[in-house]
Structure 1
Amino acid sequence: MSKKVLWVWSFNNRQQTVGTPAGMSGVTMRPRKFQKELREALAPDWEIDYISDDLSETLPQADVIVIPKTNRALYAERAKDAKVVWVSGNEVAENDIEGIKRKIIEA
């Protein structure tokens, strides 16, 4: 049975987009390609879902939650009981699939 990774890729509040430079959408020129490559790198042991986190709701459950480092303060309380992997925009922009995969596995 595979483990579940939840990646907070963007943010919204009650289904309204929250304008923030801290999400991952603007970091990479090819977000779908990056997401697909990471999904393939983690398979078959890990299943990954990319979400737009509704800040007005409880954070969904997962074995590991990936959150942009720039949002540490926002998630300090919300993710306190979860295994969190903090990623930088540089890791995503540089397409550091192996480095991010290693962080997830070691979490």
Structure 2
Amino acid sequence: MATVQQVIDRGRVPLNDADKVRYTDAMLLDYLNDGMAEIYTLRPDLRFGSYGTPVAALLLTDTFPLSAAHEVAIKHYLVFRSEMTDDENVNTNRATQTYKLFERAVTST
């Protein structure tokens, strides 16, 4: 199982940010945690047995709590959020398409 840091690092590839220059780990960790909240909204069954427990924010050293297919979904979410905040380079169509990929990956697994 991958760590959250490994998932974020893999998400940097489509962002062309392997050197961690454009996006900080802290920023991408915030996006990842937001994406996890969206996953649990789209798929509450993934929290079976934990519905009354608040979702704890993940840390970089934590193990990613979902399947490898959900790792792919989170990587799409990281690209979506990064594209939306990168105003001078934003490509709304790309951001929209990556969010659709995120939704499809979450709802089909």
TM-score w.r.t. structure 2 length? 0.34
Instruction: Name the structure where helix makes up a greater proportion of residues.
Output: 2
Instruction: Name the structure where strand makes up a greater proportion of residues.
Output: 1
